[in-house]
Structure 1
Amino acid sequence: MKRNILVVLLLIVTTLAQAQFTVETHEGDPIVQGQTVFFNVVTYPEASLDFYVFNQGTEPINMKVEFVSAVNTDGSGMEICFGECYTGTIPGTSYPIDDVVVIQPGSSQTSNGDHFYNSDPGNGTDALEYAFRFYMVDAGGNEVGDDLTFNYVYDPLLGVNDVNILEASIFPTVTYSDVNVESKDAVAVSIYDVQGRLIKQTKLEAGTNTLNLSDLRSMIYLVQLTDEAGRKKTIKIVKR
């Protein structure tokens, strides 16, 4: 009997740990593990990174976001809105403070204005780098499951054409086997599952290339394309 109880408890813990979430911008672009989002302005709303967190599981999840670190800034110019809005934020602090954002299965958070926004212009030369981490907690406030870390960078020296733009596309985005990757430049291809785990990597030359996905399981994937200049584009695809 004790062994059976232990097995049940292990199954419960495993189920909790496997509850997952994804993060997208308001435009529907996925934010994946390790991604860096660049801005070259500090005006609102141009410099606001608006986001939704989606619960991919079958049970409600409790979410928080940690302000992990800041480079070339004390962080006080960063506004974080997740359930509640906070200004004068401090690295090492998780938000919302003394609370969580509860997200129901198959849904995103109920607030529509959640965002990260930097208003600090810095010294006009050096880039300001912020690291953030989304994570889940249980009813006792203990962290569970996987997290998602990404970077928000304000670089005043970036040209308009350098910010977040990689001219590339993938078609079709729903496939049983192959997809076509079209890019003006050579790109590195990284394929992640919705949990942010790296599944496959390859490199493609400029032009139109065929990418065979027949070896992947049927599920949703995030394909991140990166050129030699470090510009990225992430596209969601469905493998049937």
Structure 2
Amino acid sequence: MKKVWLFILLIPVLGLTGCQKDEPDTPADENAHFQILDVNGTAVENNHTFTFDLNDPERNLVLLAKNTSGQTIHLKTRFTNVTGTDGSEMEFCFGNCYMGMELNTVYPVNGSLDVNGNSITPPSAIHYANHTTGPASYTIEIFEVDDEGNQVGEAFVFKHVTQ
């Protein structure tokens, strides 16, 4: 009889330990508080390549940043690779506007592009225009930073290619 009672008492304990949650409480991409959209509002996949014809005088890429959280987020950008040019003919705006870029410099140099909770940046906030006369390729990152300027989560990476 003692074995029966012991067995009855152990069943709930064994059941509770067998039902422990294996997944973390937060998803792996918990810091992904933004999404990059094209000018039409369509989501852009990470590592996308935007290709422009050398004969197109504009070669202007307009992007939107959508804040998917309820809190204001701070975004920055940087050019991580450049080929075919020195970057002096890259005109871009990321909150502030610049003519020419320096490899691995974080922009905006002071501050950040702040995006209010559950909102989207206006089309004038983010654009990249390559004015070089020959083929060129830029690898660009957009990433979130905390209040101290430290990167939060993974960067969104894309290429701006003129050929």
TM-score by length of 1: 0.53
CA contact (8 A) 2:88 2:99 kept: yes
Separation in 1, partners of 2:72, 2:121: 11
| Residue aligning to 1:99 | 111
Q: In the alignment, which of 130, 146, 157 is matched to residue 138 of structure 1?
A: 146
CA 1:153/1:16 → structure 2, altered by over 3 Å: closer, same or farther? closer
Paired residues in the alignment total: 138
Separation in 2, partners of 1:130, 1:49: 12
Q: In the alignment, which of 46, 50, 64 is matched to residue 37 of structure 1?
A: 50
CA 1:19/1:37 → structure 2, altered by over 3 Å: closer, same or farther? closer
Q: Identity over the aligned pairs, expressed in percent?
A: 28
CA contact (8 A) 1:51 1:115 kept: yes
| Residue aligning to 1:75 | 87
Separation in 2, partners of 1:95, 1:36: 21
CA contact (8 A) 1:71 1:128 kept: yes
Residue identity in the other structure for 1:146: E
Cα distance per residue 1:41-98 (max 9 Å; x no partner): 3512xx1001110001121110001111101111111111011110011111111111
Q: Which runs of 5+ in 2 are unaligned?
A: 1-24
Matches within 5 A, 1:38-187: 38-41=51-54, 42-44=56-58, 47-110=59-122, 112-122=124-134, 127-155=135-163
TM-score by length of 2: 0.76
More strand by share: 1
Separation in 1, partners of 2:28, 2:52: 38
CA contact (8 A) 1:17 1:144 kept: no
Larger Rg: 2
Report 1 or 2 for greater relative contact order, CA contacts < 8 Å, sequence distance ≥ 6. Answer: 2
